Amino acid sequence: MRARMILQDGSVWEGLAFGAEGEAYGDVVFNTGMTGYQEILTDPSYCGQIVAMTYPLIGNYGINEQDLESRQPHLRGFIVKEWAEHPSNWRSVSNLHAFLLERGVVGLSGADTRSLVRHLRERGTMKGVITTLEMPLSYYLDRLQEEDLLARDLVAEVTTGEPFSVGAGTRRVVALDCGIKAGILDELTARSCEVVVVGAHTSAEEIFAWKPDGVFLSNGPGDPQDVPEIVETVKALIGKVPLFGICLGHQLIALACGARIERMKYGHRGTNHPVKELATGRCAITSQNHGFVVNAASLADTELEITHLNLNDGTVEGLRHRNHPCFSVQFHPEARPGPIDSRGLFDSFVQLIDKHKEGQPLPELQLRFD
Ligand SMILES: NC(=O)CC[C@H](N)C(=O)O
């Protein structure tokens, strides 16, 4: 069956339907990872987006039960050049098409993903629709102009309803769940943390009632400026408890400290983004998934300093607070999927918690990659 990808600017890519049939609207982005499709499908940060994979063959190791980052896919649609009908892997229990079909994700295969990605790189991320229906182009172009086509508070769609806890240990971390990935919870619980995961709209008072030794601010979908109430919560946490933020969590810390956030032309989504640690000059290859970024110039009037920079485009990749136990990174040290060079940042967080617990003055943070 024919399927089409129609962008807001009127351009169209044709291919074949795979996964579920129907229509899926979203912001169209691309990911350059050669593998990791299952983590990408289930990473809540992709909520509201249509993801095109640049690597031409996707699905060749099937679908397994271990690589899920959350229980279900959150992206709206998935575009590949070719999907593997006959996957081969000892852990595989299904294939990509069946997985998308069961979970209602509309897919497009056989499309010229190379020209689509070049188009997005030149013109920037924009809205689009994947459709298997034969409605006229004008119908879709009208719908894509509608202001409120895409939901804005995407965090509300992916956050937990009820608090729950995972792991056990000597440190209690409250994780503010804006769409937290399983990989992050695994890194924290592997370091003797009992993690209490609470909804993104939990107030600072409620967070303090859990008596946390540290608070983690998670990754998540959408524009952080669309969730000002969470920024207020972060403001109330800074200086009271050790804080670590990843991706959306990093952007929320920046906003809470008075910095600005801006939309990137087409974002960073992939598993080979080089990041420089300014303290040592070392470089790590990192996993990334973001479309917004901290404006570097706006940090001048804040108490934040830059700890990491992206070596491709010089954008801000890490921050620390000058006066309080609080740091954050734009990339994904949990590396699911991706290289594990920067996993040591989770060790930095537990060290920060331990020093703070002992009542020691603010330690010299070792934001080292390992
Ligand atoms: N992975 C994330 O947390 C993404 C953060 C934010 N939604 C962005 O696109 O920049």
pTM of the model: 0.96
Does residue 334 carry a catalytic annotation? yes
Predicted complex ipTM: 0.98
Q: Specify the pLDDT at position 150.
A: 87
Q: Which atom of ligand 1 is nearest to the CA of 249?
A: 3
Ligand 1 center from residue 62 Cα (angstroms): 26
Q: Specify the pLDDT at position 151.
A: 82
Give the DSSP letter string of 225-247. Answer: GG-HHHHHHHHHHTTTS-EEEET
Q: From residue 113, give the alpha-carbon distance in Å to each of 12, 32, 99, 100.
A: 12, 11, 21, 19
> Is 38 known to sit in a ligand binding site?
no
Q: Specify the pLDDT at position 364.
A: 60
Element (H, E) at 283: strand 283-294
> Is 251 known to sit in a ligand binding site?
yes
Residues 6+ apart with CB under 8 A from 122: none
Is ligand 1 within 6 A of the CB of residue 292? yes
**CA atoms of 245 and 214, how far apart (whole Å):** 11
Q: Specify the pLDDT at position 77.
A: 98
Q: List the chain pLDDT tens, one digit each, 370 residues.
A: 999 999 999 999 999 999 999 999 999 999 999 999 999 999 999 999 999 999 999 999 999 999 999 999 999 999 999 999 999 999 999 999 999 999 999 999 999 999 999 999 999 999 999 999 999 999 999 999 998 888 888 999 999 999 999 999 999 999 999 999 999 999 999 999 999 999 999 999 999 999 999 999 999 999 999 999 999 999 999 999 999 999 999 999 999 999 999 999 999 999 999 999 999 999 999 999 999 999 999 999 999 999 999 999 999 999 999 999 999 999 999 999 999 999 999 999 999 999 998 887 665 665 666 6
Instruction: Give the type of residue at 305.
Output: E
Is ligand 1 within 6 A of the CB of residue 289? yes
Q: Which residues are 53's β-sheet partners?
A: 31
Only one residue has tokens 């996964």, namely: 19
Does residue 97 carry a catalytic annotation? no
Evaluate whether 121 touches 264 at the Cβ level (below 8 Å).
Answer: no
Q: Specify the pLDDT at position 92.
A: 97
Q: Whose CA is nearest to atom 5 of ligand 1?
A: 248
> Is 77 known to sit in a ligand binding site?
no
Q: Specify the pLDDT at position 152.
A: 81
Ligand 1 center from residue 136 Cα (angstroms): 33
Q: Specify the pLDDT at position 363.
A: 57
Largest CA distance in the chain: 66
Domains of the chain with CATH codes: 2-145 (3.50.30.20), 154-357 (3.40.50.880)
Sheet holding 243-246, edge to edge: 164-166, 193-199, 171-177, 214-217, 243-246, 326-329, 316-321, 304-310, 261-277, 283-294
Give the DSSP letter string of 141-205. Answer: HHHHH-TTSS-S-HHHHHS-SS-EEE--SSEEEEEEESS--HHHHHHHHTTTEEEEEEETT--HH
